[in-house]
Chain A
Amino acid sequence: MTSILKWSQSLFNFEVKNEGVWFKSLSNRGVIGWILALFLTFGYITLYFFPAWLGLGAKGMPNTGFIAWFDPISLFFNGSAASQWFVYGFLYTLIILIMGVKFLIKYKNNNYQIIRTISLMFFQLCFAFIIPEIMASLNQPAMDLKNMWPLNYYFFFDWNIKKLLSSGYFGLFLMVWGIALTFIISPVLTYFYGKRWYCSWVCGCGGLAETAGDPFRHLSDNSETAWKWERRIIYPVLFLVCLMTLTILDSFFRKNPETYWITFSHFKVIILLLLAGIIALGIWQKGWLKGVSKWSKIGFISLGIILFVAIAFSWSYQKPVLLINALKLREWYGFYVGAIFSGIIGVGFYPLMGSRVWCRFGCPMAAILGIQQRFFSRFRITVNGGQCISCGNCSTYCEMGIDVRAYAQKGENIVRASCVGCGICAEVCPRGVLKLENGPLSLEDGKIRF
């Protein structure tokens, strides 16, 4: 009896800050952790591939069972019976809200955590859930206004472009908004605030990781080997998503070379210029690129040149770009990266590999923002002189598996591509060593320092 009482007390005692996390089966990869991981993984598999098991009605048939429970809510929002995606979106939002409240209580003494979490909850509830439902109920294309390419990898797919361009001014607005978000708004915000403005303030994947994933953050491997694999996987995914988008747009323009005010030849010029620009950047490498190793630079530049030549060749011979079957690639990416990686592994493995598996190893958005954060942003984590006692709380509780201590104990500021700026390292540090900052005036000479 007393043990049950104690247990139920501990359930609601959110103030306890990470005490005993390595003793509990749920949070130390014990039996309960594994059961939860299996449950989540199979949940995702059923939802993605076997929705009928959950009671989704076959074409035109009414829903039954689990999915039917959500019919009234779906009817209320958009006037039709629930789809498996409605159920998913609804539960996803609900979990972020509930676990968000838990997070708010746990970190109630830290305003940064409070504001950031409210922002995450707001964007999930309004931008990801309510606004698209409203758009749909008004017979407009439904779009999550904060979900940008390349995380939203289908933004440049032919069907999405056609849908947007055939929906009048509203569709056009969505088109312009989506492009501006990726190419203007995001770089500017990332320059001033680092990638955190998206990853731990706005993004839906981040929203789930920060709230529901918080009890598992210490499970992220912070070894150098893990860091190596992180780079080996995330940048190829970024490359893939770019390649896929390129091939899809290529086949789209091939079919409609002169239909829109951007013609096929415009498109070719834009792509080749973009590539040339990237190569030039790699060669130019002014001061802010100096941390990169020689071989990555050489590899990066030669890959760029090979691509440039190959793309130019395939176009001059009127072949699909790089001879790639766009539809196959798209199918492949959608299945392996879109469904298996970001969904099933990304969330299903929370209790095994920590809350940011997808964000850390897979997300192409995080890869782009990270590159910018590393080389062209004012954001960094400042280390407070020599106060570090090398205790390791920061490294243990970094959900991105960054070995924060390795920098802190040397008194070196932390500028890492993967840091999502969650601020938890600074919060758990018992000696007040870490602070997230946006390039403040240099303390010595009043000049801005990067």
Chain B
Amino acid sequence: MHIVIIGNGISGVSVAKSLREYSDDEITIVSSENISFFSRPALMYVFMGKMRFKDILPFPSDYWVRNKIKQVYGAVKEIDAENQSIVLDDGGVLSYDKLVLALGSQPKSLGLGEFNLQGVQGFYSLQDLEKLQDSTNKIKHASIIGGGLIGVELAEMFVSRGISFTFWVREKWFGSNFLPQEEAEMVTNHLISKNINIKFEREIIGFEADDSNKVKSVESQSGEKVNSDLVCVCIGVEPKVDWLKSTDVQTKAGVLVNAHLQTNIPSIYAVGDCVECIDPVHGRKSIETLWYTGRLMGEYLGKNILPENSPPYEPGIYFNSAKFFDLEYQIYGDVPTSFSEPYGTVFWKHPTKDKSIRLVFDAKNDEFIGCCVLGIRFRQEVCEKWIREKRKISEVLPLLSEANFDSEFSTRYERELLDIYNNTVI
């Protein structure tokens, strides 16, 4: 049996890794980005000089040979589902018994044709990083468009290298589309404290280029024009599936898969960022562009691609984490951005420092359903256990110190949160 995986990001590699744990079948991974797997979220640290590129490769270089995982460098252009083979850009043909699509995403465009201009780019791939590094020393002023996770990472990167830039954010607060209001305000204040040039409630409506098609400035809806010879568009990502439209694999926004991560063609599967679940598990999005989702899907598929009658993919309890400059963020379970019925919440915020704890519960039956923390670390196992066991919020609060994962001797704040809860209940 030959299993071919297109894409060597976290999802593709997770498939190969967990498949290899119990099977000796032939495994080939194809990628056009880099011959070996690297940590995409760590690209920023290479730019900041915290690590070299070789430091962000999660496995030693002999790992692939040792585990008999064949690596092929090249872009796949076509899938011939009938003959079970794929065609590479250099004309090479690989035949497969099972094919896994782990294609990842690409930066979304504003729809203004901006990616045709020189000096306008996204920040997703190794090639994007290289482009950025090339232009860094030549530019006078940059623009970052989009107040999302990648935008804020770029801001941190630019600050560390002393690049002057303007950070354009459409919302009133940074992160208000994925954080509750109080947290969004805290993160926003943290960004402001970093002295970065951040403009809220601005949408970019146009670009100006010079004669050689090089970007000169950006223009917002409020009429400002800011000269920028580098523009990074980070308004989100979308599955990288354009080239699949000409194949028999069914796609909408992403590759459509059933509960077993199988596409409309039975021998072809898909995992990670490029997936669009036809029928997502309750409460989950049909497209989840997360490292963790990619890994979980990959591990699931590696285990279940060969056996008959495998169980459906079960994403488990949601979790995620991020870092906004120095401010760490973790989330477990279900935390909405606003708290109307049926959500109830207890929130504590440090009076001076950037630290907060939020627990979320179901107001009808007091069951604990999620939590998020800023500047504090929580233990995943404990939070998940409480959520899975549907513990009552009144039961969870006194035990909260079990969930704390801060380093030893850290000041603890569980008491404050409990007091807030007791005061609001009485």
Q: A residues touching B (Cβ–Cβ < 8 Å)?
A: 6, 16, 18-24, 109-112, 114-115, 223-224, 382, 384-387, 389-393, 395-396, 405, 409, 423, 426-427, 430-432, 435-437, 443
With A19-B50, A392-B56, A393-B45 as contacts: A111 and B402 at CB distance below 8 Å: no
Tell yes or no: B253 within 8 A of A by CB: no
Distance between Cα atoms of A20 and B60 in the complex (Å): 24
Bitwise interface map of B from 397 to 417 toward A, beta carbon under 8 Å scored 1, else 0: 000001001111111000000
Distance between Cα atoms of A46 and B50 in the complex (Å): 35
CB distance A443 to B10 under 8 Å?
no
Tell yes or no: B98 within 8 A of A by CB: no
Task: Name the one of B58, B295, B409 contacting A405, with C-beta atoms under 8 angstroms.
Answer: B58
CB distance A393 to B407 under 8 Å?
no
Residues of B within 8 A of A109 (CB): 326
CB distance B407 to A423 under 8 Å?
yes
- Chain A residue nearest to B404 (CB atoms) is A435
- Chain B residue nearest to A403 (CB atoms) is B60
Most A Cβ at <10 Å: residue of B10, B381, B385, B407: B407
Residues of A within 8 A of B410 (CB): 110-112
CB distance A390 to B405 under 8 Å?
no
Residues of B within 8 A of A391 (CB): 39, 41-42, 45, 51, 56
Task: Name the one of A20, A224, A426, A427 contacting B160, with C-beta atoms under 8 angstroms.
Answer: A20
Distance between Cα atoms of A222 and B295 in the complex (Å): 25
Q: Can you list 16 contacts pairing A with B, beta carbon distance less than 8 Å?
A: A20-B161, A22-B49, A110-B407, A111-B409, A112-B409, A382-B405, A384-B379, A385-B319, A385-B379, A385-B381, A386-B380, A393-B51, A423-B408, A431-B328, A432-B378, A435-B377
CB distance A389 to B291 under 8 Å?
yes
CB distance A392 to B55 under 8 Å?
yes
Tell yes or no: B384 within 8 A of A by CB: yes
Distance between Cα atoms of A430 and B45 in the complex (Å): 11
Residues of B within 8 A of A386 (CB): 292, 295-296, 319, 380
Interchain nearest-CB distance for A446 vs B (Å): 11
Interchain nearest-CB distance for B329 vs A (Å): 9
Tell yes or no: B323 within 8 A of A by CB: yes
Distance between Cα atoms of A373 and B359 in the complex (Å): 37
Residues of B within 8 A of A431 (CB): 321, 323, 328, 330
CB distance B50 to A18 under 8 Å?
yes
Distance between Cα atoms of A223 and B407 in the complex (Å): 27
Instruction: State the total of A-B contacts with C-beta under 8 angstroms.
Output: 117
Kindly list 6 other residue pairs between chains A and B, CB separation below 8 angstroms, not including A18-B50, A382-B405. Answer: A19-B48, A223-B60, A392-B45, A423-B408, A431-B330, A443-B381
Tell yes or no: B281 within 8 A of A by CB: no
- Chain A residue nearest to B407 (CB atoms) is A112
Interchain nearest-CB distance for A224 vs B (Å): 6
CB distance B408 to A112 under 8 Å?
yes
Bitwise interface map of B from 207 to 237 toward A, beta carbon under 8 Å scored 1, else 0: 0000000000000000000000000000000
Distance between Cα atoms of A109 and B52 in the complex (Å): 26
- Chain A residue nearest to B373 (CB atoms) is A432
Interchain nearest-CB distance for A421 vs B (Å): 10
Interchain nearest-CB distance for A55 vs B (Å): 41
CB distance B48 to A20 under 8 Å?
yes
Q: B residues touching A (Cβ–Cβ < 8 Å)?
A: 10, 39, 41-42, 45, 48-52, 55-58, 60, 160-162, 291-292, 295-296, 319, 321, 323, 326, 328, 330, 377-382, 384-385, 402, 405-411
Distance between Cα atoms of A430 and B327 in the complex (Å): 9
Distance between Cα atoms of A435 and B410 in the complex (Å): 12
Residues of B within 8 A of A430 (CB): 323, 328
Most B Cβ at <10 Å: residue of A19, A23, A111, A114: A19
Residues of A within 8 A of B326 (CB): 109
With A23-B49, A111-B410, A385-B384 as contacts: A432 and B60 at CB distance below 8 Å: no
- Chain B residue nearest to A395 (CB atoms) is B55
Distance between Cα atoms of A23 and B49 in the complex (Å): 6
Residues of A within 8 A of B161 (CB): 20
Residues of B within 8 A of A395 (CB): 55
Distance between Cα atoms of A369 and B296 in the complex (Å): 38
Which 8 A-B residue pairings sit nearest by Cβ, starting from the closest? A385-B380, A432-B377, A391-B42, A111-B409, A20-B49, A390-B58, A23-B49, A19-B160
Residues of B within 8 A of A115 (CB): 409
Residues of B within 8 A of A409 (CB): 58
Distance between Cα atoms of A390 and B43 in the complex (Å): 11
Task: Name the one of A16, A384, A437 contacting B377, with C-beta atoms under 8 angstroms.
Answer: A384
Distance between Cα atoms of A431 and B402 in the complex (Å): 19
- Chain A residue nearest to B376 (CB atoms) is A432
Task: Name the one of B48, B160, B381, B407 contacting A435, with C-beta atoms under 8 angstroms.
Answer: B407
- Chain B residue nearest to A24 (CB atoms) is B49
CB distance B41 to A396 under 8 Å?
no
CB distance B58 to A387 under 8 Å?
no
CB distance B377 to A443 under 8 Å?
no
With A390-B39, A430-B323, A432-B328 as contacts: A21 and B50 at CB distance below 8 Å: yes
Interchain nearest-CB distance for A247 vs B (Å): 41
Interchain nearest-CB distance for A442 vs B (Å): 11
Interchain nearest-CB distance for A118 vs B (Å): 11
Distance between Cα atoms of A392 and B43 in the complex (Å): 11
